[in-house]
Each structure stands twice: as C-alpha cells, then as structure tokens.
Amino acid sequence: MVIVVGSGAGGATVAKELAAKHITVKLIERGPAIEEKDAFRCYADTESEVKVLRAICLGGSTTVSAGNGVRCLETELREAGIDLKHEFEAAERELGVSVLPDALFGEGTKRIMEAAESLGFKIEKTPKFIDADRCKPDGRCVFGCPEGAKWTALRFVQEARREGAKIITNTTVDEVVVKSGEVKR
Ligand SMILES: Cc1cc2nc3c(=O)[nH]c(=O)nc-3n(C[C@H](O)[C@H](O)[C@H](O)COP(=O)(O)OP(=O)(O)OC[C@H]3O[C@@H](n4cnc5c(N)ncnc54)[C@H](O)[C@@H]3O)c2cc1C
C-alpha cells in the first residue's frame, strides 16, 4: 500500500497514477473536501509576514490557481541534457492546455496587449488549462472557478477514487514513523 500525503498537483497526480496501476492508495489531506467555487475560503498564510499563498483543501493550491499552463525551465533543462518535450506535451493534453480566444480576455489585459504592441513588443498569449467553452471571464479563477472550467487536481483525486483509492480529508500527517528502514504507520 502507498500512502500519499497531500492532494494538490503533486499528491493527486501520484495517487491517480498509482491507483490506475491497481496499487492500493490512501490519500491523506489536511483540509476539507470543498466545492470548487468555495476554494477561496481555504487560503492559508494570509496573516504571515511573508505571504506564500496556498490553499489547504482537497485539490490543494490548484483550486485557486490562475490556470496558466506555462512550460517551466524547458530550455534550461534541455541545455542540461534533460529533454522533457514529450512529458510537457502529455501533461498539456491531459490538462487541456490551450490559448483562450480574445473574447475571454479582460479589459485590462486587452489594453496591456494594445499598449505593448504599439511599443513594438511581440505579444505571446499565456496558454491556459481552462476550457474556453465553459469559461465565463469573471476573473474568479483564484477564488475557485464557479463554472468548473479550470483544471484542478480535484479531477485527479476523483480519478484516483474511481480506481479504488481511499481519500481521507481533514487529517494532518504529523510524522512518518520509520523503524528498521520501514515506514510503520
Ligand atoms: C493564488 C495562486 C495562483 C496560482 N496560479 C498558478 C497558475 O496559474 N499556474 C501554475 O502552474 N501554478 C499556479 N499556482 C501554483 C500551483 O498551484 C502550485 O505550484 C501547485 O499547486 C503546487 O502543488 P503541490 O502539490 O506542491 O502543493 P499544493 O497544491 O498546495 O498541495 C499540497 C496539499 O497538501 C496538503 N498538506 C500539506 N501538508 C500536509 C500534511 N502534513 N498532512 C496532510 N496534508 C497536507 C495541503 O493541505 C494541500 O492540499 C498558483 C498558486 C496560487 C496560490
């Protein structure tokens, strides 16, 4: 059996992949199960001096993400001999990453694009893991999408559950007890 701690981008992905291979998975999440539209209630760290925003709930910080599906360090890793092209493509297919139509851009974004173009800068639109057909441009991505248009790790949690994973919420893992090189509980 594999115990996965945390149900955000990392944990939910691991749980889904393992469960699909018929490995027994228990996914333990500190926060509650929520509806996506209520994710803003789960922001943590808002009172700390250095604000590292994150959400403590099923789906983790992906529930409040802006939906930007940008490839990270692709060039730098390739220069170091690690080519992740196929992995990026697979992730983009799975998350439904694409560039949204201009009709879904906010007024501010359109103005910045116009101003940049008038100054001779080339505009590149940010790829998004947002379903354009379901998206309403209300700027509520980072509150929790009321339309369920944005990919969140909740989808992977659901897939893991369908494959038999046990999902435990409102439970914090405080310590991993290791005896003779083995995790005991
Ligand atoms: C406002 C905001 C906007 C963002 N926008 C984007 C974006 O547009 N594009 C992008 O790529 N990224 C974005 N990010 C970043 C992205 O959401 C994170 O990089 C990603 O979710 C990190 O995945 P993770 O699994 O490491 O952590 P998280 O997704 O935060 O998940 C960690 C989970 O583990 C749980 N947990 C932690 N400790 C324990 C414990 N001891 N026991 C049990 N459970 C525990 C937490 O409750 C949480 O649910 C954004 C983040 C924020 C906050």
Longest dimension (CA), the chain: 66
Share of the chain above pLDDT 70, in %: 99
**8 Å CB contact between 132 and 158:** no
Segment 115-139 shows an average pLDDT of 95
Q: Is 63 in the pocket of ligand 1 (CB under 6 A)?
A: no
Q: Is the pLDDT score of 185 beyond 70?
A: no
Give the model's pLDDT for residue 110.
93
Give the model's pLDDT for residue 91.
96
Q: Which residues contact 124 (CB under 8 A, 6 or more apart)?
A: none
Strand partners, 183: 178
- Taking only the tens place, the pLDDT of each residue in 16-40 is 999 999 999 999 999 999 999 999 9
Within a domain: residue 179?
no
Q: In the structure, what pLDDT confidence band is assigned to residue 59 with cuts at 50, 70 and 90? A: very high
Whether residue 125 is found in the same domain as residue 158: no
Instruction: Please report, to the nearest 10 degrees, the dihedral formed by the alpha carbons of residues 101, 148, 32, 157 taken in order.
Output: -90
Total structural domains in the chain?
2
Within a domain: residue 183?
no
Strand partners, 3: 26
Whether residue 53 is found in the same domain as residue 73: no
Residue 80, domain extent: 68-129
Q: Is the pLDDT score of 7 beyond 90?
A: yes
**8 Å CB contact between 135 and 30:** no
Give the model's pLDDT for residue 184.
79
Within a domain: residue 114?
yes
Q: Is 10 in the pocket of ligand 1 (CB under 6 A)?
A: yes
Whether residue 74 is found in the same domain as residue 110: yes
Within a domain: residue 180?
no
Segment 67-71 shows an average pLDDT of 97
Within a domain: residue 153?
yes
Please give the distance, rounded to the nearest whole angstrom, from the Cα atom of residue 41 to the centre of ligand 1: 15
Whether residue 55 is found in the same domain as residue 73: no
What is the overall mean pLDDT for the chain? 95
Q: In the structure, what pLDDT confidence band is assigned to residue 49 with cuts at 50, 70 and 90? A: confident
CA distance between the termini of the chain: 11
Give the model's pLDDT for residue 48.
79
Whether residue 92 is found in the same domain as residue 104: yes
Whether residue 96 is found in the same domain as residue 121: yes
Coil/strand/helix, residue 128: strand
Please give the distance, rounded to the nearest whole angstrom, from the Cα atom of residue 114 to the centre of ligand 1: 33
Whether residue 1 is found in the same domain as residue 61: yes
Q: Is the pLDDT score of 157 beyond 70?
A: yes
CB atoms within 10 A of CB 148: 16
Tell me which of 41, 54, 88 to substitute to probe ligand 1's pocket, judged by most ligand atoms within 8 Å of the beta carbon.
54
Within a domain: residue 168?
yes
